[in-house]
């Protein structure tokens, strides 16, 4: 099983890694010259949150980014905040609607065990990988998109998103 560090040590192409704002493991990657590190609210990398096609083009052109890794994590307090928040703030509408859709499919987040919450994060990250991949394809940017989920409670063991495991799940989005 890979930890975040061993996983990153095996990556040799210039990569952008997107951590959630409250993820504690960001510093394991900072200093690795093959990585550009950024954070996003609930990992939501989309035009609505300021990550538009110009931003990605700049990453490719100026930083030489060839792949993007979305790094979800366990015990995400931002996710919990998004479930509890009732402000209807348009900035996080998109994240909330993704999360609400997942609750319909997977059950109530607040009633889940720690293991099921981690599975929930795998699904959430899968959705984000799929959405970002579609967006980059649409704007003509040829960048790989991958996803991982970090278990910060268990030595930062990571689970890599395998989109082949989720064909039914993803098809139901279309
Ligand atoms: Zn988080």
pTM for the whole thing?
A: 0.91
* C-beta of residue 40 within 8 angstroms of C-beta of residue 73: no
Distance from Cα 4 to the centre of ligand 1, integer Å: 16
CA angle 94/132/117 to nearest 5° reads: 60
Percentage of the chain lying above the pLDDT 70 cut: 95
Instruction: State the pLDDT at residue 51.
Output: 92
Span from the CA of 3 to the centroid of ligand 1 (angstroms):
18
Average pLDDT, the chain: 90
Measured over the CA atoms of residue 120, residue 85, residue 46 and residue 41, the dihedral's sign is: negative
> pLDDT band at 174, cuts 50/70/90?
very low
What is the dotted CATH code of the domain comprising 4-169?
A: 3.40.1050.10
**What is the b/e burial string over 4-43, where b = at least 16 CB atoms within 10 angstroms of the residue's CB?**
beebbeebeebbbbbbbebbebbebbeeeeebbbeebbbb
Phi, psi of 89 (to 5 degrees): -65, 120
Distance (angstroms) between ligand 1 centre and the Cα of 106 equals 19
* Res. 169 pLDDT band, cuts 50 70 90: low
Q: How confident is the model at residue 172 (pLDDT cuts 50, 70, 90)?
A: low
Q: Give the Cβ contact number of residue 116 at 10 Å.
A: 13
Instruction: Tell how far the Cα of 173 is from the centroid of ligand 1, in angstroms.
Output: 23
How far is it, in rounded angstroms, from Cα 71 to Cα 10?
Answer: 16
Q: Name the percent of the chain lying above pLDDT 90.
A: 68
Question: Which two structure tokens, joined as six digits, stand for 44?
Answer: 């939501």
Distances in Å between the alpha carbon of 135 and those of 4, 20, 39, 107, 152?
26, 20, 19, 28, 29
Q: Give residue 5's pLDDT.
A: 92
Instruction: Inform me whether the pLDDT recorded for 170 exceeds 70.
Output: no
Residue pLDDT, tens place only, 7-23: 999 999 999 999 999 99
Distance 77 CA to ligand 1 centre (A): 5
CA 71 to ligand 1 centroid distance, Å = 9
Q: How far is the CA of 20 from the centre of ligand 1 (A)?
A: 5
Cα(70) to ligand 1 centroid in Å equals 12
């Amino acid at each position: 099983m890979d930890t975040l560090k061993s996983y990153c040590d095996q990556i040799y192409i210039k990569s952008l890694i997107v951590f959630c704002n409250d993820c504690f493991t960001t510093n394991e990657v900072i200093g690795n010259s093959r990585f550009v590190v950024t954070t996003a609210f609930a990992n939501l990398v989309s035009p609505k949150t300021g990550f538009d096609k110009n931003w990605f083009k700049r990453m490719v052109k100026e930083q030489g980014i060839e792949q993007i890794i979305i790094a979800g994590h366990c015990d995400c307090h931002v996710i919990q905040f998004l479930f509890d928040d009732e402000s209807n703030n348009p900035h996080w509408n998109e994240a909330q609607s993704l999360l609400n859709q997942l609750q319909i499919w997977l059950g109530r987040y607040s009633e889940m065990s720690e293991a099921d919450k981690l599975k929930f994060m795998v699904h959430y990250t899968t959705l984000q990988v799929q959405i970002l991949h579609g967006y980059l394809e649409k704007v003509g940017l040829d960048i790989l998109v991958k996803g991982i989920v970090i278990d910060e409670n268990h030595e930062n063991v990571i689970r890599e998103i395998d989109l082949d495991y989720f064909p039914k799940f993803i098809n139901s989005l279309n």
